[in-house]
Structure 1
Amino acid sequence: MLEARGLTVRFGSTVAVSGVDLTIPRGPYGVGLIGESGSGKTTIGRALLGFVQPSSGSIHYAGQELPRRRVPDSYRRAVQVVLQDPDGALNPRMRIGAQIAEVLRTHRMATRAQVPGRIRELLADVDLTAEHAERFPHQLSGGQRQRVGIARALAVRPQIMILDEPTSALDVTVQARILDLFERLRREHALSYLLISHDLAVVQRLCMHTMVMYHGEIVEEGPTERVLNAPQQGYTQRLRSAVPQLPSRGHASGSAHALRGALG
């Protein structure tokens, strides 16, 4: 569904991403992107979202190459992002319901009469109640604010979500609940995820395919179970050796706290 071919991103003389090929199939599916801080993971995500212009290479969605300078509004709806820090995506002066309504109106996803009901549906989808619509961001917990960010992304009915360290700012108990939510949403909405993470346990749980980045290049990729449990490349082996014991998919949430930070 979403494909990058020979994707290269330069900032001046610095090559942040070098000739990366990446494919995100139609959902439900998860692709993990792991590597040390500064390896280029987030830059790939920003390039796929249209926030950074590639220096060379191409990005294709549903078989069509995206224009370099301005991606279509339909693509911006189809590919949404959930960030590490939900506070950065929320307006502290607006109530939660008003912030979701703004997304619905801007993208013409509901008529004026439909907006209140759609807000309730979206909040329920992320395990929040209609009462949360009347609150301001500071009146919510970190986990609740992250759920609001997910609800806003879902408001435009995306096909793909770029998840950039979506649980790293949360405590371990809240992490487990958010991971449960991501699993359910992927299944119910047939979503595809590109998960950018330092946390091997989270990648193990949410992703079927994993890619390993080093200095802007993909040095290893394959089925998640193979890459994380029987890595072939020395760099991946060193990353893996930092984790004492990696749980199998479905049991990762209980070890998320212990594994956080293993990659730097």
Structure 2
Amino acid sequence: MLEARDVTVVYEGTAVVDRVNLTLPEGPYGLGLIGESGSGKTTVARCLLGLVTPTHGTVLFRGADIGAMRQPGPYRRAVQIVVQDTEGALDPRMRIGTAITEVLRAHRMVPRGTERGRVAELLSDVGLSAEHAARYPHQLSGGQRQRAAIARALAVRPRFLVLDEPTSALDTVVQARILDLLHTLRTEHRLSLLLISHDLAVVEQLCRHVAVLHHGRIVDQGPLPDVLREPHHPATRSLRDAVPRLPP
């Protein structure tokens, strides 16, 4: 469904992303894009979203070059992002229900006058009540804000979600709940997920395949068990060895 072909991004003479090739089929499917800080993970994601134009290479959505689309509306609806910093992603002056309604109206997802009911459905899908629609972001916990951000992304019925470190700012218990929620939503909505993380333990819960990014290049790629069992690059071994393990 979504494909990056030889994507390269050069900033000030330096290739921060270098000839990256990725393929994400129709869901339910999960691909983990992992690497240490500064490896280029978020830049790759921004290229897939059409927010950064590659210096070289192309991004294809169902065979069409997204950079050449004359009407990108369907693509914008099909591909959504959930970011790490929900405090920055949600307008602090806007109630949660209003933020989701704004998306529904901008993309004409439901008839006028039915937005409130649809907002309640979306909040219910992510484990929030209709009462949360009247709250401002600062009145929610970190996990509730993340759920609200996921509900807003689902408002346009996407086929593909980019999850940029969606649990790194949450405590361990809330992390597990958000990951369980994403697993359920992936199955129910048949979503394709690109999970960006430096934590293999998080990736393992949502993704069967993984790509390891190091200095802008993919140095390991394949089914997650195979990559963990026989890593080809020292960067992969370092990420694997960084996962804490409890003694028997």
Scaled to the shorter chain, the TM-score interval is over 0.9
Contact 1:186 1:192 in 2 (8 A): yes
Structure 2 counterpart of 1:145: 145
Q: Does 1:173 align with 2:177?
A: no
Which 10-residue stretch deviates more, 18-27 or 66-75?
66-75
Structure 1 counterpart of 2:24: 24
Q: Does 1:117 align with 2:108?
A: no
Structure 2 counterpart of 1:41: 41
Distance 2:139 2:207 in 1: 33
Residue-by-residue CA offset, 1:59-115 (whole Å, 9 max, x unaligned): 110121212598701111100000001111111111111111000000110111221
Distance 1:197 1:242 in 2: 13
Structure 1 segments of 4 or more deviating over 4 A?
Answer: 68-71
The normalised TM-score by structure 1 is 0.90
Structure 2 counterpart of 1:198: 198
Supply the RMSD in Å over aligned alpha carbons.
1.4
Count of aligned pairs: 246
Distance 2:150 2:107 in 1: 16
Shift of 1:160: 0.3
Structure 1 counterpart of 2:54: 54
**5+ long unaligned stretches in structure 1:** 247-264
The normalised TM-score by structure 2 is 0.96
Structure 1 counterpart of 2:239: 239
Contact 1:50 1:70 in 2 (8 A): no
Structure 2 counterpart of 1:189: 189
Shift of 1:242: 2.4
Contact 2:46 2:52 in 1 (8 A): yes
How much identity, in percent, do the aligned residues show? Answer: 62
Contact 1:53 1:69 in 2 (8 A): no
Structure 1 counterpart of 2:72: 72
The SS at the match of 1:228 is helix
Structure 1 counterpart of 2:225: 225
- In structure 2, relative to structure 1, the CA distance for the partners of 1:82 and 1:163 (3 Å cut) is same
The SS at the match of 1:67 is helix
